[in-house]
A and B are shown apart, each in its own frame.
Chain A
């Protein structure tokens, strides 16, 4: 029966941190020391092609590989829940956009299951995106973001910091 209880808590045991706090702190310190000494390799954290993924009723957005994040902050700010969003990863940073949004969003994973979110605003007031599409090119280190707004069809370059340039990519 105790085993059954343990099984029951399968999804919670990761969040139970209070009992072994001292040991954990010690372990993190050891890991940090070790990390400084570990060898580094090149790890491309960019999508080879952008994705279009659905948004659930809870406001969660998931990638086909199973990664997911809580997009409710974004949706609350945009005051809408689109059917799907365009998403692309550029050097570890996720860029999110959707038709009807007024902003472009950059999501920076930090540590563990946490991420920071940056709002990138460059549209005029009351303008919204339509026909949004990310494009990845081997010619640039930025993501090419194509969309239409009231001013017409536009193309901009977005880098891993979420910075936007109209004509060229700053990172190139």
Chain B
């Protein structure tokens, strides 16, 4: 038991010991790295290789930040301040080591010139680029290395003027400068351009703008090639500035011209929009009206249909329904020839008595029948107005109309016959009265004669 505990204790101790040794080894490695960076940075600084020194000090600062903050508290602060000061002092030199974008572009241009076979021009550019540069810096070292790889470079006189302009380049430069002058004269055509003229001149203006841009790039490239040659650079820079101002001016003309066009278009669109809005409102109004009318029409149609239905039902009640006998049973029939039926007075009377018994209770009530006929005629007239409407297609419509007409005709026939009889009856009544009156007059005359005779007799008897 004791032995086991002892072994476990020893094992734990060994583990802790190994772990601490490992941590310490790591820390020691960090310190070694830091010392290494500091040493190499100091050496680079002495060798005036500020770029390497700056990078190494930066790496050293990174190592300082990794140190145990508790254990090396003061040392970290010291190292941080020392390295910060080193970086602070080296910063300007380090920045000079890094080429500007212009220099990078120029280096690429020089390389492309080399590929084009313009070796002399390329060498000139590179030599000018290297003037006053710290060739210990990576970029400038690369430029020098490229320059040295050019075959025949060794044969070129190192003392030759790097700013010398070859005759070939000079003629190229002169052509470019002539182009600048031409453009300078041409721009006056566009400076006073009026608002209305812009649309006509826009194409030539854009061409001019492109020409300015092209010329500007050409001059700019030449200018950059002579970046460190004040005399050549200055005249090219002047041209370049002039072209830049022309470029801006033309751009402004185009932009303001287009703005004018756009604003015109915008106002036209606004007008159109207004018109469209009005039209839209009108349409909405029409739409509203249409909807109202449609609703009204629908309502009227519905009303019409209701009226028709009522009228149709009424007509069916009012009209005579002919029947036919088939196998001993009465079935619905149609009036095939109403005139023939009307001629048969007896049949008509039978049918009418059956349909309208109220008018035949004591003889024929002609006046009432006339009124009924008027109603039937009107009903027929109203119903016939639906002939061309959808209601005219209703099943039984034509038949009902025929029935109404037949009813009216039948009524008419009865009324006519009743009138003739009535007139005859009236004539016989009048002769009876006359006879009575004559008899009465005869009686009165006879009485008067008798009375006269009596009176004359009395006068004779009593004179």
Contact = CB atoms under 8 A, between A and B. Distances in A.
B86 interface: yes
B81 A62 contact: yes
B38 to A, nearest CB: 10
A4 to B, nearest CB: 6
Interface string A39-68: 000000000000001111110111110101
Nearest to B78: A68
Given A4-B25, A53-B88, A84-B88, A68 B31 contact: no
A4 B77 contact: no
A56 B80 contact: yes
Given A60-B78, A64-B89, A54 B28 contact: no
Interface in A3-25: 4-5, 7-8, 10-12
Nearest to B82: A62
Contacts of A54: 81, 84-85, 88
Nearest to B74: A70
A56 B28 contact: no
Contacts of B31: 7, 10-11
A159 to B, nearest CB: 26
Given A8-B27, A11-B75, A64-B89, A56 B81 contact: yes
Contacts, number: 56
Contacts of A55: 81
Q: Secondary structure at chain A's binding surface: helix, strand, loop or mixed?
A: mixed
B286 interface: no
A87 to B, nearest CB: 10
A1 interface: yes
Contacts of A62: 78, 81-82, 84-85
B27 A68 contact: no
Nearest to B20: A5
B72 A60 contact: no
- For the side of the interface on B, what is the size category? 20 to 34
A58 B75 CA distance: 11
A56 B21 contact: no
B307 interface: no
Residue among B28, B76, B84 having the largest count of chain A Cβ atoms under 10 Å: B84
Interface string B55-82: 0000000000000000110011110111
A66 B77 contact: no
B28 A4 contact: yes
B24 A8 contact: yes
A4 B24 contact: yes
A127 to B, nearest CB: 28
A81 to B, nearest CB: 12
Contacts of A68: 78, 81-82, 85
A53 to B, nearest CB: 5
Interface in A83-117: 84
Interface string B344-374: 0000000000000000000000000000000
A75 to B, nearest CB: 13
Given A61-B81, A63-B85, A66-B82, A1 B72 contact: no
B28 A8 contact: yes
A63 B84 CA distance: 10
Contacts of A57: 80
Interface in B405-427: none
Given A4-B21, A11-B72, A58-B81, A64 B86 contact: yes
Nearest to B68: A8
Nearest to B26: A8
B77 A56 contact: yes
A55 B88 CA distance: 10
A115 to B, nearest CB: 14
Given A53-B88, A56-B77, A84-B88, A7 B82 contact: no
Interface of A: 1, 4-5, 7-8, 10-12, 53-58, 60-64, 66, 68, 70, 84
Given A4-B25, A4-B28, A10-B31, 18 more contacts: A5-B24, A7-B31, A11-B31, A12-B71, A53-B85, A53-B88, A54-B84, A56-B77, A56-B84, A58-B76, A60-B78, A62-B82, A62-B84, A63-B85, A64-B86, A68-B78, A68-B82, A84-B88
9 contacts: A1-B17, A4-B28, A11-B75, A56-B81, A58-B77, A60-B80, A62-B78, A62-B82, A70-B77
Considering the complex of A and B, which 7 residue pairs feature the smallest CB-CB distances, nearest first? A60-B81, A62-B81, A62-B85, A58-B77, A8-B24, A62-B82, A54-B88
